[in-house]
Amino acid sequence: MSKIFLKNAYVMKSSDSETKKYNIAVNDGKIIKITGENDFFDENGYEIFDLNNKLITPGFINSHSHAVMTYFRGNSDDTTIKEWLFDNMLPREEFLNDEMAYYGAMTGFMEMISSGITTSVDMYMFTDSISKAAADTGIRAYVSRGLSYDTQEGWERRINENIETYKKYNNYDGRIKIGFGPHAPYTVPMEKFRELSEIINDYKESINQIHIYEGLWEKESYKLSDLEETGFLSHNVIAAHCVHADDEDIKILKRNNVTVAHNPSSNMKLGSGTAPIKKFIDSGINVTLGTDGAGSNNSLNILKEAHMASMLQKNTIGPEKIKKEEILKMCWENGAHALNEKIGEIREGYMADLVVFDLNDEEWLPNNTVKFKSHLVYNIPKKSLYATMINGKWVYFDRKFPGINKEDIYEKFGKYCDKIEADFYNYSNNLGK
């Protein structure tokens, strides 16, 4: 693995640090040395990148996504959540296969990387294809098989798939981790959560995912205290949404150390409501940010989510109640905390997951270091994103993906997208007959 030395850049080490000029030495996937602007460093043996008038920040952590759903962007924009899910998403998903899922995930991960996401937490079917796409794009990924219960046979088949993907991909290149993903307590009965908890006992390190209280109607369908009683919540859980968590639910989330993944664009677009993020934070719950899938967001730009999360809270509880540093912490330090990984900060000994912005772009004007956090959260500077490093490797550099044939991937993606729409059209016509 190559040794890299990043010189002359402005560096924002974390959500609460000042932005200053530093040099960063990377070796074997890790940040091994950070030196001051004028400190001596023996550059011998290092590949040197002069990043003058550029800003390095920690890579962003997307804590809830469905990368394959990039196919469904724009399919059901102005509908209710039930029409969106039952009439548009689920029927289209029937037409996917392993190869299509691979190209959907490739396209989704590439979009994430070009918006500064270095880690993505993904729940879906086709976990082998998604893990392969993570391996090929270079993204750090936490992948879970979305588990639902229809028949005992179907349930067991999905769990077996989850375990098979675990055996094949867990710890691949030190950056792919496989966990379990029971979809939601309204698609999995409580006794199955109990069984699953027993299984997860053998996978103590795994990060597990679930959707909780995205829609208000879910409050009629199950109680969070019943889910707690199954033991599942205590297994390193990231719960997406939690829009309708009440005071009792907040206590349950807190005592089980559940991380809440907030997905503001998706929640607003589907009219799900406003998650009480500030209340979660004040209660000591770890809150992170997610893009959710492109079927409901529709973009996979985490900077937009940072912006939306801030706007939504300001407009609901007051503009002074949430600060940009708290928002950045959600996609950096809090994301890292949820995954128990040395990422989300630029520190010696941490993984070299970094993002580089080009400060020559008007998105960064006024070009004053004390305003850089403001520009990040309130100006969504995706256009000036210049490079993304994951595990010490450039996976995106000078706005290109080295080693990836982008045209070929986007062409296959387009072809499969057309096929899904043709199949869906035939299916819809047959329904009408």
Residues binding Zn ion (CB under 5 A): 240, 292
Q: Which is nearer to Zn ion, 162 or 388 (CB)?
A: 162
When the beta carbons of 242 and 389 are compared against Zn ion, the nearer one is: 242
Q: Which residue has the tokens 């729409």?
A: 421
SS3 356: strand
Residue with smaller CB distance to Zn ion, 12 or 240: 240
The answer to whether the CB of 399 falls within 8 A of the CB of 110 is no
Task: Report the C-alpha gap between 205 and 261 in whole angstroms.
Answer: 19
Q: State which amino acid sits at residue 416.
A: Y
Closest CB 426 distance from Zn ion, rounded Å: 27
Using alpha carbons only, how large is the chain's radius of gyration in Å? 21
Q: How far is the CB of 241 from Zn ion (least distance, A)?
A: 7
Q: Which one, 240 or 303, has the nearer CB to Zn ion? A: 240
Q: 235 with 200: CB under 8 angstroms?
A: yes
In the complex, minimum distance from the CB of residue 146 to Zn ion, in angstroms, rounded to a whole number? 9
Rounded to a whole number of angstroms, the minimum distance from the CB of residue 67 to Zn ion is 11
Query: Which of residues 128 and 292 has its CB atom nearest to Zn ion in the complex?
Result: 292
Helix axes 152-169, 190-200, angle to 10 degrees: 30
* Cα diameter, the chain: 76
Closer to Zn ion by CB, 51 or 212: give it: 212
CB of 85 to Zn ion, least distance (A): 10
Among residues 15 and 162, whose Cβ is nearest to Zn ion? 162
| Measured distance CA(324)–CA(332) in Å, rounded | 12
Closer by beta carbon to Zn ion, 71 or else 350: 71
How far apart are the C-alpha atoms of 189 and 277, rounded to whole Å? 28
CB of 84 to Zn ion, least distance (A): 12
Measured from the CB atom, the residue of 117 and 240 that comes closer to Zn ion is 240
In this structure, how many other beta carbons lie within 10 angstroms of the beta carbon of residue 65? 31
Q: Strand, coil or helix: what is 288? A: strand
In the DSSP assignment, the letter for residue 362 is G
Contact 141, 129 (CB under 8 A): no
Instruction: Using alpha carbons, select from 107, 126, 121, 94 the residue that is nearest to residue 175.
Output: 121
Dihedral Cα 264, 269, 274, 280, nearest 10 deg: -30
Least Å distance, CB 65 to Zn ion, is: 8
| Pairing outcome for strands 117-124 and 60-65 | parallel
Find, among 384, 382, 387, 368, the residue nearest to 19 by Cα.
368
Min dist CB 428 to Zn ion, Å, is 24
CA torsion 238-262-249-237 (nearest 10°) is: 0
Q: How far apart are CA 173 and CA 164, in angstroms?
A: 17
Q: Whose Cβ is closer to Zn ion: residue 201's or residue 221's?
A: 221
Give the nearest distance from C-beta 285 to Zn ion in angstroms.
Answer: 19
CB of 293 to Zn ion, least distance (A): 6
